[in-house]
Amino acid sequence: MMVQPLPPSASASGRPAATPGAGDEALLRISHLKKRYGAWLAVDDVSFSVAAGEFFTMLGPSGCGKTSTLRCIAGLEMPFEGEIVIDRKLVYSAAQRIQVPANHRDIAMVFQSYAIWPHMSVFGNVAFPLEARGVRGAELKSRVGAALETVGLAAMADRPAPMLSGGQQQRVALARAIVANAKLLLLDEPLSNLDAALRIQMRAELRNIQRRLGATMIYVTHDQEEAMSLSDRIAVMRNGKIVEIGAPQDLYHRPRSVFTAQFVGQSEVLPCDLPAAPAGGRVEARAPFGVVMCTGVPQGIGPGRHGLLVRPEHIQILPRGSVPEGLPNRFPARIESRSFSGRLIDYHAAVGASSLAVQTLSTSEWEVGAPVVLHMPPAHCIVVEGSPG
């Protein structure tokens, strides 16, 4: 393997270089990675690991550092600090001045633009990375055929690339990535150029392909719904840093930070005060409209100013006069506005001086101005670190 030494100007972290042990199951391990463009620190001390066969997504707004991190993993960008290990091989280390070139990292990448060569057929596009490695004859035909079969394009092998639809081009790019049997597949917003209906279809196909192959995928997107439906784990990024890593269900139902709560899914995050530390997994949060009993309290949350997360679909609208005595977290309210979208109705309800978003099925409807009671089940009232701006 070629090892390209870092230029003398690259800084070393000063940390001892870590080498994964024999029992290390992570296929990818990133430690304290930093990447700068001029004065802008695009990747700021990022660390995470990805297990073999895992679908891992980096999610965040534009400019948060997710694509820069992906390109550092691929060897297309040079960090200035940290280290990257792929399949127990050190491919980048600032401390040891190691930078393994992209073509020696056993990775394959699908770009946002697909990078399909218009002068080649579908077969030629998929065969190119194998031909570059010297694969020829029956083996080439067999491996390309298997990759095209996997993505459902076996019947289009001889079709010119310009005659493909957007979805078909995306499949060609994916086939070209998987044909080389790389250890790690990197995907940079590969569905962003497709229309909404095709994106949903391709999500399902991409996840099925990943499971069928047992492939390890690192996926970059700003689309939270895409990340939630595809991923085993998600790293939420902001300003070059990882804010939080977790399974989609945990990030949605039990986020730790205000940013994650607001970025992932629809949410109401209200300022609240905790007068005391949680006891027995329960705490009373003082919200603008009253005291809210919460059982969704992350470990380590103490007294002080925090955020109170209540998802719109977790708030129940009840008629006044029929609310059972002793029901926790019930607050008188009035419907301010409503928006009918077919299956769902989105409301805004005035609760004291606050206005809360509430979402219900269209099987029951409330008129604007109707006096109601809002019920917030304690299990769906989540205290998150930080106060909403």
* Percent of the residues in the chain that have a pLDDT greater than 70, as a whole number: 94
pLDDT band at 2 (very low <50, low <70, confident <90, very high): very low
pLDDT digits (tens, 9 = 90+) for 341-356: 999 999 999 999 999 9
Strand order from edge to edge, sheet including 316-319: 316-319, 371-375, 330-340, 344-351, 354-361
pLDDT band at 273 (very low <50, low <70, confident <90, very high): very high
Position 19 pLDDT exceeds 60: no
Query: Quick one: DSSP state of residue 102?
Result: G
Position 6 pLDDT exceeds 70: no
Distances in whole angstroms, Cα of residue 10 to Cα of each of 1, 6, 47, 252: 22, 6, 19, 39
pLDDT band at 41 (very low <50, low <70, confident <90, very high): very high
Give residue 161's pLDDT.
86
Position 9 pLDDT exceeds 70: no
pLDDT digits (tens, 9 = 90+) for 291-321: 999 987 777 788 889 999 999 999 999 999 8
Give residue 268's pLDDT.
79
E strands, 229-303, in order? 233-238, 241-246, 268-274, 283-287, 290-294
Backbone angles phi, psi at 331, to 5 degrees: -135, 130
Q: State how far the Cα of 243 lies from the Cα of 386, in Å rounded to an integer.
A: 12
Q: State how far the Cα of 282 lies from the Cα of 266, in Å rounded to an integer.
A: 24
Specify the CATH number of the domain 262-389.
2.40.50.140
pLDDT digits (tens, 9 = 90+) for 144-162: 999 999 888 999 999 998 8
Backbone angles phi, psi at 339, to 5 degrees: -140, 115
Position 21 pLDDT exceeds 70: no
Buried b (16+ CB within 10 A) or exposed e, 200-212: eebbeebeebbee
Give residue 197's pLDDT.
84
Domain ranges for the chain: 4-249, 262-389
Tokens coding 9: 């100007």
Give residue 82's pLDDT.
98
pLDDT digits (tens, 9 = 90+) for 55-108: 999 999 999 999 999 999 999 999 999 999 999 999 999 999 999 999 899 999
- The mean per-residue pLDDT over the stretch 240-253 comes to 96
In this structure, are residues 371 and 332 in contact, taking their beta carbons and an 8 Å threshold?
yes
- The mean per-residue pLDDT over the stretch 111-127 comes to 89
Position 249 pLDDT exceeds 90: yes
pLDDT band at 18 (very low <50, low <70, confident <90, very high): very low
Position 22 pLDDT exceeds 70: no
Q: What is the pTM of this model?
A: 0.86
Give residue 229's pLDDT.
93
pLDDT band at 114 (very low <50, low <70, confident <90, very high): confident
Q: Which alpha helices (DSSP H) does the chain contain, by range?
A: 66-74, 122-132, 137-150, 166-178, 196-213, 224-230, 248-253, 258-263
pLDDT digits (tens, 9 = 90+) for 364-379: 899 999 999 999 999 9
Backbone angles phi, psi at 239, to 5 degrees: 50, 40
Give residue 379's pLDDT.
92
Give residue 97's pLDDT.
95
Please report, in angstroms and rounded to a whole number, the separation of the first and last CA atoms in the chain: 50
Mean pLDDT (the chain) is 89
- CATH architecture for residues 4-249: 3-Layer(aba) Sandwich (3.40)
pLDDT digits (tens, 9 = 90+) for 212-244: 889 999 999 999 999 999 999 999 999 999 999
Greatest alpha-carbon span in the chain: 79
Tokens coding 211: 């499971």
Kindly report which listed range (7-11, 175-179, 184-188) carries the lowest average pLDDT score. 7-11
Give residue 16's pLDDT.
33
Q: Are strands 216-221 and 55-59 parallel, antiparallel or unpaired?
A: parallel
